[in-house]
Structure 1
Amino acid sequence: MTTDETDGSMADREEINYDPASSRYHVYECPDCDNVVLALGRDEPPMSCHGESMVRVTDPDITVKPPDVKQVLLQAFGLPKAGLDICLCVIGEGPLSANEVAETLGYDRSTVTRYLNKLVDLGLLRRSELNREGGGVVNVYHSIDLERMRRETLIGFYVWAGEAAALIEDANITKQEYLDENPNRELPDIFWEAFPDD
């Protein structure tokens, strides 16, 4: 399963196969049903299905383009380069106000404020109020605990991956329903054009 990439550097990268022997993650499946799970950093099956341990997948016939961290953050969190730059700036130099981040990176303040608020909503940064010496308060942004960030980003990615897996499953079900209803026809060249938008 491959997709066209808009980023030229990604398009030029070679496809990779899942290699259970050297991977930091493992894919397990139930030998009796279609249940499949992803486990990160584990040597034993993470769960059972039908009362039996799941079996590690060792022979997938699929290649994918290797992920790029910026592309993952963009796809999973809607966080493009500017958002990533802002997040890393606060992690490295915070606590910082929106003005300080904008000055450091040379970004427009409204852009910085928008992404800072998104990063807080995602749980990747936290916001607090700081009393100014001349009076008044200003919002400043801090990095969260690194272990918490690891957890939040991993869970966020798994939620996104789960939604992507559900879309793939829906596509497969729709394809099978089409073939069942049209046993004498092949799939259209562009399959989704055969179905109206919901």
Structure 2
Amino acid sequence: MSDNPKKTTGDQDTSPFVQEAEQDIDLTDRPYDVYGCQTCDNVILSLHGCGEGMTCHGEEMVPVTEAKMEIQPPNLRDVLLNVFGLPKVGLDICLCVIDDGPLSPDEVAQQLGYDESTIRRYLNKLTEVGLLTKMQLNREDGGFVNVYQPIDIEEMRRESLIGFYLWAGEAATLIEDANLTKEDYVDGSYEGDLNEIFWESFRGGDEPAE
């Protein structure tokens, strides 16, 4: 939890939730595999080794063991925020419900100390994402209260990976479209400045960093 638990947002929390990873990635020692087609440019990411089961063009795909482009591995905070729109406060709330649920927003607020409006917002977000479910319990004095509980852990594991793969697929599509735009420019399909043409092609997305 952040140093100021009454804040209504956890986006600015600077506590060492997960340390930034700055080392180069060694593809021969990772818990996933990247496979490449021997005929075309197709590449596949697999979280579990598939042996000879990964094929393309009728041929066995081969593991990719070297990458010329260096990247900085993301930390968990970056992944949860960018893929699912969940900052640390959202994960705090999700973990609290997984540990002690079913819980009402008021009970979560009492445990974590976050503002109740923040609790309600992220409980709804977590329900929309599919990590939690909401149900109504009748009060002894009449009326009802909304309580939240986690989905089955195995289902959560599978669905969160599927959700990430869908996000990664959309990201890969953007990267491929960007590469094709640059390729078309080099081939003379566009006239004008590449920078202007490139960002005009992706209007509505992120602007280039200043």
Structure 1 residue ranges without an equivalent (≥5): 1-5
| Structure with the higher fraction of residues in strand conformation | 1
Alignment of 1:77-88 (within 5 A): 77-88=84-95
State the 1:127 CA deviation: 1.1
Q: Aligned to 1:120, which of 97, 122, 127?
A: 127
Aligned to 1:144: 151
Partner residue of 1:47 out of 54, 58, 70: 54
2:82 is the counterpart of 1:75: yes
Alignment pair present for 1:161 and 2:168: yes
Q: Specify the alignment match of 2:31 in structure 1.
A: 24
Compare relative contact order (CA 8 Å, sep 6+) and give the higher one, 1 or 2.
2
RMSD: 2.8
Taking the aligned partners of 1:12 and 1:152, their CA distance within structure 2 comes to 26
Superimposed CA distance per residue, residues 4-31 of structure 1 (whole angstroms, 9 cap, x where no aligned partner): xx998789642422x2321110001111
Measure the CA separation in 2 of the matches of 1:64 and 1:191. 26
Distance in 2 between residues matched to 1:7 and 1:58, nearest whole Å:
36
Assess, with a 3 A threshold, how the Cα gap between structure 1 residues 69 and 32 changes in structure 2: closer, same or farther: same
SS at match of 1:75: helix
SS of residue in 1 equivalent to 2:86:
coil
Moved more, 169-178 or 125-134: 125-134
Matching residue of 2:22: 14
Tell me how far apart the structure 2 counterparts of residues 187 and 125 of structure 1 sit (CA, whole Å): 45
Match of 2:9 in 1: none
> 1:170 maps to what in 2?
177
C-alpha distance after superposition, 1:5-63 (max 9, x if no partner): x998789642422x232111000111111211100121515531111111111121122
Q: TM-score, normalised by structure 2?
A: 0.80
Q: CA deviation at 1:105?
A: 1.6
**Aligned partners of 1:105, 1:88: CA distance in 2, in Å?**
11
Residues 45 and 159 of structure 1: CA distance in aligned 2, closer, same or farther (over 3 Å): farther
Identity %: 54
TM-score when scaled to structure 1?
Answer: 0.84
